[in-house]
Amino acid sequence: MSHNRNNRGGEASRQEAASAQVEAASIGLSEARRGRGHRARLRNRYNEGVFAASTALSRLAALETSLSGAIRGKPDAVRLSIVCLLARGHLLIEDVPGVGKTTLAHALSRSVQCGFHRLQFTSDMLPSDVLGVTVYNARSGEFEFKPGPIFTNFLLADEINRATPKTQSALLEAMNETQITVDSRSYALAQPFMVIATQNPVEHHGTYPLPESQLDRFLMRIRIGYPDRGAEREILRNTDHAAMDAVHEVLPAEELLALQAQVAGARVDEALVEYILEIVEKTRAHESLALGVSPRGAQALFRAAQALALVEGRDYVIPDDIKRLVVPVCAHRIIVNTRAAMSQRNAELNERVLEDILTQVDVPL
């Protein structure tokens, strides 16, 4: 009898120790700096409606200014990344090396007072390198879970398509359910949680195309592109170190969570819902497409339009919000009927098909 009680007690202590380690790994920088009492008071102030819309707009403007100091001459990429953050989505940045993919991801994470981890994905990386691993502690005689880098608020997955599909799939549960499962035990992730992944175009050597199931979990895919001459002149005049020094924490984690909750309050007229559904259905029936936009993609477009309205200081969505977001939200979710399914040319063809669909759907007035 006592032996069984001891076993149960040992098991309970092991579970408590593992949970404590996960909880410690999940605490963001803001928790350490501000204290739980302040977090609760700030959250209550938002719930009571103390902060006006103008205050939220000023916070977002400060965030946009901070990011623009690191990524010069790319206002669209900066704004779309903020929209993705507010919509509780994950961001995929795809472009050639050297245009600022990692800089944008790093600047976005540094602008919010949260935890941050960067993972450089390589072909020999294992899922345990991302999630964590259970190891045997010889001193205590028990197995302990060692949390991996995913236990953070912002995870930068640098060059994600250089890892094998097995390692890429380690992110699926985390991106969809904000939890992971290791050795039949589930561990919740901290909030807010965002994966910012960068990848090189797949025609570059040593890359593995992301599967459709994982692409669909990214709310948005954006490209940065080459800067214009004026912006590139500023880049030459300023070192990378100086550019990152211009980025500072402008948004506490609690305010970010409140802004994310505020996104759902943006009004979407029924005519605009029909507009979204019409666009989505066109992708599923288009003769050039083998795979159309999924219901998850339709939800992402709806939520991203609400977030864009908030960023632009409105509490309602307009048709231009949807039109502006169709390509970054939907282009990576569709597959064109061609053998070059994962080439850069095909990615551009995806965008042309979506632009063609937009011309076929009547805009609500």
**Closest Cα to residue 134, out of 180, 193, 191, 194?**
180
Better-scored residue on pLDDT, 261 or 24: 261
- How far is residue 192's CA from residue 85's CA, in Å, rounded to a whole number? 9
Average pLDDT over residues 193-200: 92
pLDDT tens string 147-187: 999 999 999 999 999 999 889 989 999 999 999 999 888 99
Chain-centroid distance of CA 181 in Å reads: 20
The domains found in the chain, sorted by start residue, are 2-263 (3.40.50.300), 267-365 (1.10.8.80)
**Closest Cα to residue 148, out of 48, 26, 13, 271?**
26
For residue 142, CA distances in Å to 5, 20, 220 come to 17, 15, 43
For residue 333, CA distances in Å to 342, 354, 358 come to 12, 11, 16
Q: Could you give the percent of the chain with pLDDT greater than 90? A: 48
Better-scored residue on pLDDT, 291 or 302: 302
| pLDDT above 50: residue 129 | yes
For residue 6, CA distances in Å to 12, 33, 144 come to 10, 39, 18
Asked if residues 325 and 319 have their Cβ atoms less than 8 Å apart, the reply is no
| pLDDT above 50: residue 2 | no
Band (pLDDT 50/70/90 cuts) for residue 5 is very low
| pLDDT above 80: residue 31 | no
Q: What's the pLDDT score for residue 58?
A: 87
> How much is the pTM?
0.82
Half-sphere exposure of 9 (CA within 13 A, CB side): 6
Handedness of CA 281, 285, 287, 289 (dihedral sign): positive
Q: What's the pLDDT score for residue 238?
A: 76
The set of long-range contacts for 31-40, using a CB threshold of 8 Å and a minimum separation of 24, is 31/253, 33/113, 34/113, 34/252, 39/253, 39/254
